[in-house]
């Protein structure tokens, strides 16, 4: 196997490869760009016009997605997986990966779309570098652009595998991409309706990629991910990489639950209190009239929506950040 196929090993060791560019027997070029960043380019005659960005480890303790990208890279380096797409593999926060922590100083996935410019520290610099790497990768004209940012959650979920689909004014969500997510094993998709500061929102909004945050299960340490089943996603990614995807039945999204954002719960002060059990699962239903949260100046969030559910509840975030999202079922009438 080519040494560059061991990107994860290099990243965890904090080492640069001796050779920055290597070729497989089939002429696939692997090029080390920066710590945790590797570009894969197929021979020109095999290139099918897709640029695929695969990122994981934006949160360093979310290891199942990191291990998935590691397996794909190994297969490419061995010549067992023969790409027809250009691919950029990114491990988002190497320092947090080495420590087995979600982040060291601040959450990298809250530092995109301009937020890193308002901050300081190495994780803000890393967010800036990730934006630069993605922008450079997606700078070729007349090509399809796809980005999957892979995560696992800090808590359990009543719907274990789901995706977040970013929003941009004047741009509609794609039925084809939703069918693709269903094929990848996603049980639900949250169709967002406002700008965001996460990585997938940056590539969707600024770089015109079809971009998604994928939540794949519960976060566990390296080597303990037997309970995180990514087999369907792994199969789909191999098909996308090799250009061998089966035809998708776009008319039918049967079994895929769609949700939209009703409100974001923003923590304004240290007085913030979230009236939920610490171990509440994502997608837990909340009754209408329930007092969800309280903050300074008698700020209160009361559930007003029918069928409301909560995802990503986290009262420990910094002031000014999102402490949870209230979502409701939707039909996805505006899909194209």
Q: Which residues contact 111 (CB under 8 A, 6 or more apart)?
A: 119, 123, 124, 127, 197
The secondary structure element, H or E, covering residue 302 is: strand 299-302
Q: Is 255 exposed, middle or buried (0-12, 13-18, 19+ CB in 10 A)?
A: exposed
Q: Give the pLDDT band (50/70/90) at residue 225.
A: confident
Looking at residues 283-289, what average pLDDT do you find?
95
Residue 100 pLDDT > 80, yes or no? yes
Q: How far apart are CA 8 and CA 28, in angstroms?
A: 19
Q: Give the pLDDT band (50/70/90) at residue 280.
A: very high
Residue 261 pLDDT > 60, yes or no? yes
What separation in angstroms does the CA of 240 have from each of 162, 175, 254, 267, 276? Answer: 19, 17, 22, 40, 40
**CATH class in words for 3-242:** alpha beta
Q: Which residues are marked as active site? A: 215
Helix (H, G, I), strand (E, B) or coil at 120: coil
**How confident is the model at residue 216, as a pLDDT?**
95
Q: Which has the higher per-residue pLDDT, 219 or 308?
A: 308
Q: How far apart are CA 86 and CA 139, in angstroms?
A: 12
Task: Tell me if 59 is assigned to a ligand binding site.
Answer: yes
Residue 217 pLDDT > 60, yes or no? yes
Task: Tell me if 151 is assigned to a ligand binding site.
Answer: yes
Residue 144 pLDDT > 70, yes or no? yes
Looking at residues 63-87, what average pLDDT do you find?
97
Q: Give the pLDDT band (50/70/90) at residue 154.
A: confident
pLDDT per residue over 183-193, tens digit each? Answer: 999 999 999 98
pLDDT per residue over 316-331, tens digit each? Answer: 898 988 899 999 999 8
Q: How far apart are CA 210 and CA 174, in angstroms?
A: 9
Sorted by where each begins, the domain ranges of the chain are 3-242, 265-329
Residue 251 pLDDT > 60, yes or no? no
Residue 336 pLDDT > 80, yes or no? no
Residue 153 pLDDT > 90, yes or no? no
Query: Does 265-329 match 3-242 at the fold level?
Result: no
pLDDT per residue over 3-42, tens digit each? Answer: 999 999 999 999 999 999 999 989 999 999 999 999 999 9
Residue 58 pLDDT > 90, yes or no? yes
180 within 8 A of 214, measured Cβ to Cβ: no
Which two structure tokens, joined as six digits, stand for 322?
A: 């999102």
The secondary structure element, H or E, covering residue 131 is: helix 122-137
Q: Give the pLDDT band (50/70/90) at residue 252.
A: low
Which two structure tokens, joined as six digits, stand for 37?
A: 């960043």
Fold held by 265-329 = OB fold (Dihydrolipoamide Acetyltransferase, E2P) (2.40.50)
Task: Tell me if 67 is assigned to a ligand binding site.
Answer: no
Handedness of CA 58, 64, 69, 70 (dihedral sign): positive
Q: Which of 84-93, 167-176, 262-271 is the most confident on average?
A: 84-93
Q: Give the pLDDT band (50/70/90) at residue 218.
A: confident
Residue 78 pLDDT > 80, yes or no? yes
Nearest to 229 by CA among 216, 245, 214: 216
């Amino acid at each position: 196997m080519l040494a560059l196929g061991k990107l994860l090993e290099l990243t965890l060791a904090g080492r640069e490869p001796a050779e920055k560019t290597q070729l497989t027997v089939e002429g696939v070029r692997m090029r080390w760009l920066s710590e945790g960043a590797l570009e894969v380019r197929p021979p020109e005659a095999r290139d099918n016009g897709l640029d695929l960005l695969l990122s994981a480890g934006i949160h360093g303790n979310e290891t199942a997605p990191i291990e998935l990208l590691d397996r794909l890279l190994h297969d490419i380096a061995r010549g067992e997986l023969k790409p027809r797409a250009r691919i950029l593999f990114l491990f988002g926060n190497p320092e947090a990966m080495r420590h087995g922590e979600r982040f060291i100083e601040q959450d990298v996935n809250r530092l995109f779309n301009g937020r890193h410019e308002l901050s300081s520290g190495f994780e803000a610099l890393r967010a800036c570098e990730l934006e630069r790497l993605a922008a450079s990768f997606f700078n070729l004209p007349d090509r399809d652009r796809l980005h999957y940012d892979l995560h696992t959650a800090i808590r359990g979920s009543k719907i274990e595998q789901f995706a977040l689909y970013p929003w941009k004014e004047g741009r509609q969500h794609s039925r084809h991409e939703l069918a693709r997510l269903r094929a990848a094993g996603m049980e639900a998709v949250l169709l967002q309706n406002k700008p965001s500061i996460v990585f997938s929102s940056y590539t969707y909004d600024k770089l015109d990629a079809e971009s998604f945050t994928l939540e794949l299960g519960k976060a566990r340490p390296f080597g303990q991910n037997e309970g995180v089943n990514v087999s369907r996603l792994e199969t789909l990614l191999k098909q996308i990489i090799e250009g061998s995807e089966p035809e998708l039945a776009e008319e039918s999204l049967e079994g895929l639950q769609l949700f939209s954002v009703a409100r974001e719960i923003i923590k304004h002060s240290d007085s913030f209190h979230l009236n939920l059990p610490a171990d509440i699962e994502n997608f837990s239903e909340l009754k209408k009239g329930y007092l969800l949260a309280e903050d300074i100046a008698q700020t209160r969030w009361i559930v007003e929506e029918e069928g409301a559910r909560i995802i990503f509840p986290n009262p420990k975030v910094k002031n000014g950040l999102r402490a949870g999202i209230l979502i409701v079922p939707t039909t996805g009438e505006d899909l194209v």
